[in-house]
Amino acid sequence: MRMTKLFPRTRYGEVGAAMTAAHSFLLKAGFIKQLAPGSYILLPLGFRVWRQIQAIVWDVMESHDVQNLQLPILQPQELWLKTERWDKYTGTKVMFETTERHTGAKFGLAPTAEEVVTQLAAETIDSYRDLPVIWHQIGWKFRDEIRPRHGLLRCREFDMSDAYSFDRDQAGMQKSFDLFRLIYTEIFQRVGLTNCINVQADSGAIGGKGSSEFMAVSEEGGEDILLTCPTCNYGANAEKATSVVPTPTPQSKPSATMRLEYTPNTRTVEDLVKLFPDLDATRMVKTIILTADEELGPSQSYQVAVCIRGDLEINIIKLKNALSAQSVEPAKPDVVRAVTGADVGFAGPIGLQNVRAILFDRSVEGLINILCGGNKTEHHFLDVVPGRDFAAPECYFDLHLAVAGHTCPECKMGLLQESHGIEVGHIFMLQSLYTDKMGATYKGEDGKPHPLWMGCYGIGTTRLMQAIVEQNRDKDGIIWPVSVAPFRVEIIPVKYDNPDQRKVSDTLYERLAGRGIPVLLDDRESLQGGAKFKDADLIGCPWRITVGRRAAEGIVELRNRRTQEVTELGLEDVINRF
RNA sequence: CGGGGUGUGGUGUAACGGUAGCAUCCAUGAUUUGGGAUCAUGUAGUCAGAGUUCGAAUCUCUGCACCCCGACCA
C-alpha cells in the first residue's frame, strides 16, 4: 500500500486527551473513528489488524478441529421465549429488538447466540456418536450498553468470536472447557498479548456454574479489578473473589450485658471509630438494608438485611447470587426508615423485622462484644453477643468484597494483590441450562434421550485489538506484534522526489510486495522526513526501512520499532530479512 | 436511568453583556527537506429553539448532542 492511497491518514493532535493511551493512539493513527457512542468505523488500517486477529482465531480453531460456521444476527423471539431470556434481555434493555413489518413478528439483534446454536443442536444432534460437537463463529454482536465507553472496550456493536460445545455428560463438558482454555491461551499468545491471565469470574447473565475470564493486564486501560495471589496461582475478578479476612484479636469473655448508647452524628463506621477510639472497626457490625428485584416490579421486590464486619464492604454480585435475585441495590432512605424505624445508618440485627431475611457475612462469625446499630436514630448497641442478644444465624455467607491485603482463599498464605485488566475472553460451563429448556437431547447407548451438556466461549475481537495496543506501545505510538500488524514493514524515503531514493524505495516496495510481505510505502513528496518518522512511530509497523543519504550506494537502514535498533544493509540483505 | 460536566471554523482553543480572535488542518504559490519546516494568500465557526436586553457566544428556559462517575459486559 502506498501512503498517498491510504485514507484517511493520521490525525495527530486532533483527538481529546481524556482517554486511555490505546484508544487515543487508535484514533490518532487513523485505525478507528467513532460514528456514535459505542459504535466505531474500522478504517482501512484498523480493518487490516482486525482481519488478522480473525484469521488467527479461525486458524487456531481449525487446528483443534473446531467447526467454523456463521449464525444469523436476526434472532426470532420464539427462541428466546423458550429459554425465558426474552423478558430478561429486553427488560434490562440489553438486547435491541426489531419487528417484522408485515406479520409483527419480533426479533432480537444477536447479543449472543446460545438460543440459535442450541436450536441447531436440538435439530441436528441425534446420537452420542455425534458428540462432542463444537461450533464457532465470528460475528457482530449488539448490546444496548447503558454507557458505552473507552473506545473499543465497551461498544453497542462489536465483533465477537463465539463458540459453543455440546457433550454427553459433565466429564465431556469439562473436557471441552479445558480445550478452550488451551485454545484461548494459544490465541492470546499469537495475537501478541504480553500479559494475559486466567481468573475465576461471575457468569452474569449467561448463567451456568463455572466460568473463567481471560484478562489482559493493564493498569491504565483495564476496567476490571483482579485479585491475584503471589504465592499460589489463585486469581479472580474482584466481583467473584473470595478471601480470608484478617481476624481481630479475639475477645476472651462475653460482656455481662449489652447496652444501648446515644451516639450522635454517627452514620458511618468512620464516625463510630472517632466516637469510640478504643473500639476497632473489626469489632463493629454494620447492617445494610437492601432491596432485591425492584426491577421486576413492586409485587416481586423485597427487603433483606446484611450484617457484615465494619471494615468490609458488601459484594453486591455475591449477594445477588446468594438470593438468586435479578437485581439488588441499597434500599432507598424512606424504605430503610420504614423497615428499621430509624434513619439510614442505625440499622442493626436486634429486633429487626420487616425484612425477608438477615444474612450474615462470614466475617461476623465468632465475634462477641460487638457494636451494632440500635434501630433507633442516633443510637447503637454496645457489648452485643450474638446468640444471646439476637438469634444466632443458622449459617454464614460469603458476601464481602475481597480487596488487596486479604489472605488468599486457596493457599491461605499469600496476601492478595490488586491489578487491573481488560476482559478479552470468557469461557462458561453451562451444564444443561439451555439444552433442557430447548429440548436439545441426544440418544444414548441405552436408547433414551439425554440432555446435552453445553459450554460457551467468547472473545471480543474488536476489544482485543485495543487490548493489544494497550500492551504494545510506547510514548510515540503503537508497536504492533508482527502477527497482527497492519503492515509488516514501512518504507520511508526521506525525500521521495530524490531520483535515487525514489528508485530504491520503489524497488524495495515491489520486491517485498512480490514476496507477499504486507508493506507500506510513504511516498508523500512534500513532507519532511521528520513528519514521516513521527507518523510511522504512531502507526507502529514492527519494521521500518529508511531510504536516505546512502540510497545511491544501495544502502538503507532497517529499524526495529520496539527496540529502536538500526542496522545499515544493502538492498538484497534487507529484502532477505523478510 | 440517576449524578456531574461540556457544546465557538474540519480539529484544538480565546473573547467583562458591546468589532467573534488565535493555532492547526485544507487549498494555492514560493523557499525548504534525517525526527511533526518557513513565508504569503485563501476557504471555513458561536448545537437548535424561545426569552431577557438598545445589544447575547456570554444571562434564563426548553430541547438535542457528546464526555465523565454508577448498575451492565466480550
Straight-line distance from CA A249 to C1' B72, in Å? 40
Binned at pLDDT 50, 70 and 90, residue A14 comes out as: low
Q: At what angle do helices A44-63 and A461-471 cross, to 10 degrees?
A: 110
- Residue A565 (CA) to nucleotide B22 (C1'), in angstroms, measures 41
Which nucleotides of chain B have an atom under 7 angstroms from any protein CB?
1-2, 10-13, 24, 32-37, 65-74
Nucleotide nearest to A327 (CA to C1'): B71
Query: Residue A132: is the preceding peptide bond cis (ω within 30°)?
Result: yes
From A349, A302, A307, select the one nearest A328 (Cα to Cα): A302
**What's the CATH superfamily of A259-384?**
YbaK/aminoacyl-tRNA synthetase-associated domain (3.90.960.10)
pLDDT at residue A17 tops 60:
no
How high is the pLDDT of residue A465? 97
By C-alpha to C1' distance, B65 is nearest to A36
User: Around Cβ A281, how many Cβ atoms within 10 Å?
Assistant: 16
The cell for A157 is 456493536
Nearest nt (C1') from A204 Cα: B73
Rounded-to-10 torsion of CA A446, A448, A451, A454:
40
Assess whether pLDDT exceeds 90 at residue A146: no
Rounded Cα distance, A224 and A371, in Å: 34
Indicate the helix (H) or strand (E) that contains A555. strand A555-560
Q: Is the pLDDT of residue A295 over 80?
A: no
Residue A93's pLDDT is what? 76
Residues 6+ apart with CB under 8 A from A555: A568, A569, A570
How high is the ipTM of this complex?
Answer: 0.93
Residue A551 identity (one-letter amino acid) = A
Task: Parse chain A into domains and list their residue ranges.
Answer: 21-227+418-469, 259-384, 489-576
**CA(A316)–C1'(B70) in Å?**
13
Tell me the C-alpha to C-alpha distance, in Å, between residue A181 and each of A54, A63, A454: 18, 15, 15
State percent of chain A over pLDDT 70: 99
The C-alpha atoms of residue A83 and residue A114 are separated, in whole angstroms, by: 9
Q: Among A112-116, A318-322, A557-561, name the one with the lowest average pLDDT.
A: A318-322
Is there a contact between A205 and A228 (Cβ–Cβ < 8 Å)?
Answer: no
Strands A302-309 and A379-384: unpaired
| B73: residue with closest CA to C1' | A154
**CA of residue A18 to C1' of nucleotide B67, angstroms:** 9
Tell me the CA–C1' distance in angstroms for A115 and B19: 66
Stated in angstroms, how far is A179 CA from B52 C1'? 71
Q: How far is the CA of A13 from the C1' of B21 (A)?
A: 21
CB atoms within 10 A of CB A124: 11
Q: Would you state the pLDDT for residue A13?
A: 62
Nearest nt to A141, CA vs C1'? B74
pLDDT tens-digit readout, A160-197: 999 999 999 999 999 999 999 999 999 999 999 999 99
**pLDDT in the model for residue A223:** 87
CA distances from A346 to A98, A328, A342, A349, A506 (A): 48, 20, 6, 10, 78
**Superfamily holding A21-227+418-469:** Bira Bifunctional Protein; Domain 2 (3.30.930.10)
Beta bridge partners of A372: A285, A381
Residues A188, A190: Cα–Cα separation, whole Å: 5
Q: Report the nucleotide nearest the CA of residue A498, measured to C1'.
A: B33
Nearest nt (C1') to A156 (CA)?
B73
* Grid cell digits, residue A382: 454496645
User: Which residue did the predictor score with more confidence, A82 or A278?
Assistant: A82
Nearest nucleotide to the CA of A16, by C1', is: B12
Q: The cell 519494521 sits on which residue?
A: A543
Q: Is the pLDDT of residue A205 over 80?
A: no
Q: How confident is the prediction for chain A on average, in pLDDT?
A: 92
Which residues are paired to A39 by β-bridges? Answer: A36
Pairing of β A106-109 and β A74-76: antiparallel
Q: Write down the pLDDT at residue A267.
A: 84
- Neighbouring-strand partners of residue A228: A235, A417
| pLDDT tens-digit map of A479-508 | 999 999 999 999 999 999 999 999 999 999
Alpha-carbon distance A83 to A115, whole Å?
7
For residue A196, what are the β-bridge partners? A216
**Cα–Cα dist A401/A240, whole Å:** 8
Tell me which of A78-82, A85-89, A100-104, A165-169 is least confident.
A85-89
Q: What is the pLDDT of residues A344-394, one digit of tens each?
A: 889 999 999 889 999 999 999 989 999 999 999 999 999 999 999 999 899
Residue A72 vs residues A48, A75, A116: alpha-carbon distances, Å: 24, 7, 8
3-state helix, strand, coil in chain A (%, to 5): 30, 30, 40
E runs forming strands in A401-482 = 417-431, 441-443, 449-451, 453-460, 473-474, 477-478
Q: Which residue is nearest to nucleotide B37 (CA to C1')?
A: A528
Question: Do A259-384 and A489-576 show the same overall fold?
Answer: no
- A171 CA to B42 C1', in Å? 75
- Closest residue, by C-alpha, to the C1' of B68: A18
Q: Which nucleotide is nearest to A548 (CA to C1')?
A: B34
pLDDT average, residue stretch A25-50 = 92
User: Measured in angstroms, what separates residue A495's CA from nucleotide B37's C1'?
Assistant: 14
Nucleotide nearest to A224 (CA to C1'): B73
Please give the pLDDT value at position A401.
Answer: 92
- Whole-number Å distance between alpha carbons of A160 and A139: 6
> Average pLDDT in the A459-482 region?
96
Give distance CA A535 / C1' B33 (Å).
16
pLDDT at residue A18 in the model: 55
Spanning CA of A426 to C1' of B55, the rounded length in angstroms is 62
Output the CATH code of domain A489-576. Answer: 3.40.50.800
Which range, of A140-154, A201-215, A439-453, averages the lowest pLDDT?
A201-215
- pLDDT over 80 at A75, yes or no: yes
